[in-house]
Amino acid sequence: MTSTLNLITAHAHSAGDSAQNTLELANDIDPRDLASQGALDGIECINLNFPKFTDGRAYSQAFLLRRRMGFKGDIRATGDVLIDQLVQMQRSGFSSAVLREGVDASAAQRQFERYAAFYQGDAVTTAPLFAKAA
């Protein structure tokens, strides 16, 4: 499995590596409310924050945005992003993640090499493994 999750170093992100039309979404906001108000029109990137690695609300937000609402832009994980969360982030609908300061990008990339496939579908690839094999 190769990573389709764009890994961004903390330094590159702080230097302004972001899209023009970016929305910072608080963890207690329901993305469906924003869509009904048209607040996502023209948005290219949505930053979802992990204030602590134990706070998983951004996973649910990413899933809603990608799978249920069909958001095609960049969904970016920011905050307390740990290497062991990256695969689940990708499967939940994130397309990029800002690595915490001091995290080696090559070590983060190796996390994706540890898993060849997943039996069940996810937010991006909905078909289960048995439906893909022919």
**Ordered per-residue pLDDT tens for the chain, 134 residues:** 445 789 998 877 765 545 578 999 999 999 988 877 778 888 999 999 999 988 999 999 999 999 889 899 999 999 999 898 999 999 899 999 999 888 888 888 888 888 766 767 777 777 777 786 55
Tell whether 94 is covered by a domain. Answer: yes
What pLDDT shows up at residue 98?
94
For the beta sheet containing 22-25, the strands, ordered from the edge strand earlier in sequence to the opposite edge, are 6-8, 96-98, 74-79, 45-50, 22-25
Look at residue 70 and tell me if it is in a domain. Answer: yes
Question: Has residue 77 been placed in a domain?
Answer: yes
1 part of a folded domain: no
Q: In which domain, by residue range, is 15 found?
A: 6-132
CA distance 55 to 85: 11
What is the domain-level CATH number for residue 126? 3.20.20
CA distances from 63 to 20, 24, 102, 118, 133 (A): 23, 16, 28, 17, 25
Please give the DSSP secondary-structure letter assigned to residue 37: T
Which residue is associated with the tokens 């990256």?
A: 86
pLDDT at 63: 94
Q: How far apart are CA 62 and CA 52, in angstroms?
A: 16
